[in-house]
Amino acid sequence: MKEDKAIEKLIDLTDGKTCMFCTYADSFDVQGSPMSTVKTDKNGHIWFLSDKTAERHDHLVGRSHADLFYMNSDRSYCSVKGEVKVHSDRQSIEELWSPIERGCFFRQVVNIEFGFEI
C-alpha cells in the first residue's frame, strides 16, 4: 500500500513533465539536457523518446545511470536516480508515440530510433 502511494506521487510529479536528464562521464563531468517525460507507468518506470542522432544518445553510450531533476510550476520538485534501459523495438516506441511527440521531433514516428526508461 505504501509503495502504491509512492508510485502515485511519482506519477503526479513526473508524468508528462519536463526534467533535466543528467548522465556522468565521470564524477566531474555532468552531461545534462532537458527531456520531456512521455509516460510514468504504474510500475514507476519513467519513459522517454529520443532520436538516435541526438547528442543525449551519445551521453548514454557506456553509461547506465542517470539522474532526473523535475521542478513543477507549483514549486513541487522531484529528483530521481535510476538505471537507463534503452529500447529500440518498434512496438514500444509506437505505444509511446502521440501527436504531442510530433511537435518535439518534427517528423513521423518511423524516424524515432529508440526510447528508454528509468
pLDDT in tens, 99-113: 555 545 544 444 444
Tell whether pTM > 0.85: no
Residue bearing cell 548514454: 60
Cα separation, 35 vs 19, whole angstroms: 5
CA distances from 56 to 43, 50, 79 (A): 25, 8, 19
Pairing of strands 114-117, 85-87: antiparallel
Domain ranges in the chain are: 2-117
User: Residue 25 corresponds to which cell in the numbers above?
Assistant: 562521464
Question: With respect to CATH, is domain 2-117 assigned 2.30.110.10?
Answer: yes
CA angle 94, 23, 35 (to 5 degrees): 40
pLDDT in tens, 30-88: 888 888 888 898 988 888 887 766 666 666 766 678 889 999 888 889 999 888 877 77
